[in-house]
Chain A
Amino acid sequence: AQKVTQAQTEISVVEKEDVTLDCVYETRDTTYYLFWYKQPPSGELVFLIRRNSFDEQNEISGRYSWNFQKSTSSFNFTITASQVVDSAVYFCALHDNTDKLIFGTGTRLQVFP
């Protein structure tokens, strides 16, 4: 069965700290896609990154970086030097072979000034 687990329900940090959000997935498919979305307090869902199962290269975009490890079925997300504007709920999601997204339950990140 396809499943996404975000074990961290809520994380609180002080501005400028680094923080890593964990994501563990389960799938029997050999081809799949992993995503991270951000949901700020305003409620919309913002696409952050997509990674396919054949590309294990880590990705860095500004203060954001992603570590994809097939050996541990993990796709972790790190924010470096966190800012108050990073406060949001972050969802990890798995795209299965029927083009449906399976979401984790989300991690609420609070960054305090």
Chain B
Amino acid sequence: NAGVTQTPKFRILKIGQSMTLQCTQDMNHNYMYWYRQDPGMGLKLIYYSVGAGITDKGEVPNGYNVSRSTTEDFPLRLELAAPSQTSVYFCASSLPSGGGSGTQYFGPGTRLTVL
């Protein structure tokens, strides 16, 4: 049981490049989330999904896109990378709080630098 896995761990992008951050969970969780954490700050929600085929915007969605074709995978796409997207990105998953604990379990993070 690997929990939540993220790839890559580190990445450096040039301004204008695109990339996809991968996230996979093996806990059969319905809900998945993407957060970013800027230096010295808390986490801000980018996008989330309550199930396959359903995604919704969080607090800071601009410059990102997501898709959820399976329960396990929730990739985050950066289009036209900008220096403001330099951050650490965390993926998380959970069961819904109604029928489950609602506790979010996090992946190890991806450290992205845009130069």
Name A residues whose Cβ lies closer than 8 Å to a Cβ of B.
33, 35, 37, 43-45, 47, 50, 91, 95, 99-101, 103-106
| Listed A/B pairs (23) with beta-carbon separation below 8 Å | A33-B97, A35-B103, A35-B104, A37-B106, A44-B106, A44-B108, A45-B43, A45-B92, A47-B106, A50-B103, A91-B43, A95-B102, A99-B48, A99-B50, A99-B97, A100-B45, A100-B48, A101-B33, A103-B43, A105-B41, A105-B42, A106-B41, A106-B42
Q: How far is the CA of A47 from the CA of B90 in the complex (A)?
A: 14
Name B residues whose Cβ lies closer than 8 Å to a Cβ of A.
31, 33, 41-45, 48, 50, 58, 88, 90, 92, 94, 96-97, 101-106, 108-109, 111
Residues of B within 8 A of A33 (CB): 97, 102
A99–B94 touching, CB < 8 Å? yes
Residues of B within 8 A of A45 (CB): 43, 90, 92, 106, 109
Min distance, Cβ A10 to any Cβ of chain B, angstroms: 10
Chain B binding surface SS class: strand
Min distance, Cβ A100 to any Cβ of chain B, angstroms: 6
**Contacts A50-B102, A104-B42 given; does A43 touch B108 at CB 8 Å:** yes
Q: Which residue of B lies closest to A32 (CB)?
A: B97
